[in-house]
Amino acid sequence: MTLNFEPIHLNKQDDYIKHFNECSQKASEYSFVNLWGWAEEYGLYWAWKDKFVWIKQTIPETVYWAPVGKWEEAPWARWLNDYFTRPAVFARIPEDLRNRWEKVLGNRIISEEARDHWDYLYHADELVALRGNRFHKKKNLLNQFIKKYQFEYIPFDRQIINKAMAMQENWCTWRDCESSESLSAENRAIARILTSWEKLTTVTGAAIMVDNDMAAYTIAESLTDETLVIHFEKGNPNYKGVYQAINQIFIEHSEGRHHVVNRQQDLGDEGLRKAKLSYHPFDFVKKYRIVV
């Protein structure tokens, strides 16, 4: 028995989202927007079989991701035996699925924490209010931005998307993306999402404009009814406090619809980890690398 993998494409977007909604634990990289944006960078393919979507990554190595569907009803021991040669390596496996596999497979699997891929989870109301000493620096920078600049908050539309693409090009110049493969790959993923914006059914975003200049933008998605995931967040470094502003203002406009904010992984980057921890997550979506 085999899985027939094919490139990820837009015409199965709605069907994929239905399968994803059945997962008992939802990690950020399994959203359709994320899969679509990063498909070419990670060499992602999917196969549709047994009411599940199976995902394969081929760059920089061949590994499999968690199957997407209703995990609690799957005959895992039989499927993993039939579909994969041993040893089969799985990456980015959410903790809930890891626990299910351990129950049915026991010592047939080797599991290790993939800390670099854990999603950071925050209470939306805390990111909006920024109360107390632990958020003092964030609140101070936010207030400096609000007092110094006459700004306008604008949800994404076609015109703003074009400006976001232009700002992203400028951001890459500021950060010298050409000297960093990870930043170059991210730049291509952002361009792919922005170019396909009107065809992506779950994506959302907004920008902060100062004197008709885009100071910051964010790209996000409803991961669940409760959870908003922030895919990308970019700011012009010439505006002090701009990152604190886009973070707080965007979530404030989303508050009420989402109570949890998922700000994705740190990918092992020490600076990024420090920044994400400084907003005081209340929990993580833990993920694992598993060898069957």
Cis peptide before 60 (omega within 30 of 0): yes
> Which one, of 66, 39, 47, 50, lies nearest residue 292 by Cα?
66
- The reply to whether domains 6-117 and 119-264 share a CATH topology is yes
User: What architecture is domain 119-264?
Assistant: 3-Layer(aba) Sandwich (3.40)
For 208: left if phi > 0, alpha if psi spans -120 to 50, otherwise beta; the answer is beta
> Which one, of 49, 66, 48, lies nearest residue 57 by Cα?
66
Compute the half-sphere exposure of residue 236: CA atoms within 13 Å on the CB side of its CA.
Answer: 17
Res 16: pLDDT: 98
Domains of the chain by residue range: 6-117, 119-264
- What is the pTM (predicted TM-score) of this model? 0.95
| Mean pLDDT, 10 residues at a time, the chain of 292 residues | 93 97 97 98 97 97 97 93 92 98 93 98 97 96 97 92 94 92 95 96 96 95 95 96 97 88 96 96 98 95
Choices 3.40.630.30, 1.10.287.610, 3.30.70.60, 3.40.50.720: CATH for 6-117 = 3.40.630.30
Res 257: pLDDT: 83
Alpha-carbon distance 133 to 234, whole Å? Answer: 26
* 29 SS3 class: helix
Res 126: pLDDT: 97
Q: Which residues contact 148 (CB under 8 A, 6 or more apart)?
A: 240, 241
For residue 26, give both structure tokens. Answer: 């939802």
Give the β-pairing of 260-262 and 119-123.
antiparallel
